[in-house]
Amino acid sequence: MSETAAPPVPAKASGLGGGLLGRLDGVLLTLLAGAAVLWFLPVGMGRYGTYVLTLWLVTAIAVMGLNLTLGIAGLKSLAQGAFMGIGAYITAILGTKLGIDWYTCFALSGLACFALGLLLGFPALRVKAHYLAFVTLAFSTLVWLVLRNEQWLTGGTFGISNIARPTLFGLRTDGALAFHRFVVVVTLILALALWWLVRSPWGRAFLALRENPIRAASLGIDIRAYTLLAFAIGSAYGGFAGALYAPLVEFIDPTPFALSASFMLLLMVVAGGSGYQLGPFLGALLAVALPEWLRFTGGLYLIVFGIVVLLLLIVCPTGILGLLDRGWASLKARFVTADGSRP
């Protein structure tokens, strides 16, 4: 496919959004600056605070993959939590039972989920909209049942413990701060890969697939290939997130990868801003940090969390970044006339 075959990248996908958030390298600069801040932020936060911060980044990786599948390519999926579980269990099983190093487990987790994503993408070629969501829902349920019932392999409800953390240039990352900084580097690399992908001809083809598949096909875009590719890459990011989640918690069981996990990841995409490249970070921050901030409510914190999220989606159905973009566009319209000059 030639680069000119796909439509230009809309402002929504080429940056944080249009106007205030849509400069060419806005996402790149934000990612680099954010990584620098996160490198030093945990100092003085304590072990648990650093754990929550690291969990946010790991979750954001999974949400980035779902944002590519749903927000950029427009393909509905309820299987991201399952892919995260597959990556976590591959890392845990190979690391604890076979002694394979984490980097190999990380690569195998991504490759396995990429391959499964290709297979799961085939129904997307035949069914659309909510029917596709049902297919991925069935897959997610199947994966959870396997993780829970195949005790000989996954440990069942007893789980897998003593999951080792990786080393970097011979240095161990057993400490909370060391592992956090390791995750910061991995997250930055994966985020930059998606930043490049969205601006590549592949990314423009994904956007064309989302906006108008018929028109995209008339422009020479292979709908079949790009549908499968969107599912596969997004699924691989779920596997990468799982490969980081396992050593973060150092013990896994099927509970975190139940069907509710996929729904929660979908909520993060919508809340942060579907299709916005920094939306996954905001959505994951909302889902991971907000319950912690609401601990003062005692046993009511989940109810309060649900109400807050519901109000957020009512006020800004396009997500936090969508609300910011609309606000900036409205503000700019007040001060700039139709010919571009200021009144």
CA distance 84 to 62: 7
Task: Please report, to the nearest 10 degrees, the dihedral formed by the alpha carbons of residues 288, 290, 293, 295 taken in order.
Answer: -80
Query: Would residue 102 count as lying in a domain?
Result: yes
Query: Would residue 323 count as lying in a domain?
Result: no
pLDDT in tens, the chain (343 residues): 333 333 444 444 444 444 434 444 688 999 999 999 999 999 888 899 999 999 999 999 999 999 999 999 999 899 999 999 999 999 999 999 999 999 999 999 999 999 999 998 888 777 766 788 889 999 999 999 999 999 999 999 999 999 999 988 888 899 999 999 999 999 999 999 999 999 999 999 999 988 888 888 888 889 889 999 999 999 999 999 999 999 999 999 999 999 999 999 999 999 999 999 999 999 999 889 888 887 777 667 777 777 877 887 788 878 888 888 888 777 777 776 554 555 5
Query: Would residue 242 count as lying in a domain?
Result: yes
Query: Would residue 136 count as lying in a domain?
Result: yes
Query: Would residue 317 count as lying in a domain?
Result: no
Query: Would residue 143 count as lying in a domain?
Result: yes
Query: Would residue 307 count as lying in a domain?
Result: no
Host domain of residue 225? 26-261
Handedness of CA 264, 270, 276, 281 (dihedral sign): negative
Contact in structure between 165 and 102 (CB atoms under 8 Å): yes
Contact in structure between 276 and 16 (CB atoms under 8 Å): yes
The structural domain count of the chain equals 1
Query: Would residue 84 count as lying in a domain?
Result: yes
CA distance 78 to 81: 8
